[in-house]
Structure 1
Amino acid sequence: MKTNFLKSVLPVFTMVMAVGLAVANNYTNDNDPDYYDDPLEPGIQIIEEGVACPTSGENPCLYKGFQVYDDMGLTVEKRYDQ
């Protein structure tokens, strides 16, 4: 009885875990906001929806004409779409 139960439940449990972990892993980078500083607005502005950055080269990533950063301290410039 014990072996028959494990033989039927274990593959289903494995597939459920694999799908769940794949979905959880897919959303880890999507929720990472970007930041920019508009001198006419107080504080640091947060970009929740993401920015379409150049995929290669030395061109900086811009949003509304301002340099986009990966951290709130505005020290790590976003150079390409990660």
Structure 2
Amino acid sequence: MRNVNNTYLNQAKVILNDNKINVSNKRLRRLAYLDVHQLNYNLFSLYNIYKKIITKDAANNQIVVLLIALTILFTLAYLLLV
């Protein structure tokens, strides 16, 4: 089995714990491996739950970054026009 970045594992563990899903380190490594290296895998119900939680968290982060970027752009545009 290929290695998965330890930082990714730590972040996934925190996200899962926040959603009250406790998994062993071995199972977490397997879920992360499926998530990173086998993108079309969907036969394991725990993996489906894991994928939904991780994807939701990533989408929330993207929305926050988008809002920050838009705020910066509008602020710069306002400062240039004034």
Query: Normalising to structure 1: TM-score of the pair?
Result: 0.36
Higher Cα radius of gyration: 1
Higher helix share: 2
Higher strand share: 1
Query: Normalising to structure 2: TM-score of the pair?
Result: 0.36
Q: Which has the higher contact order (CA 8 A, sep 6+)?
A: 2
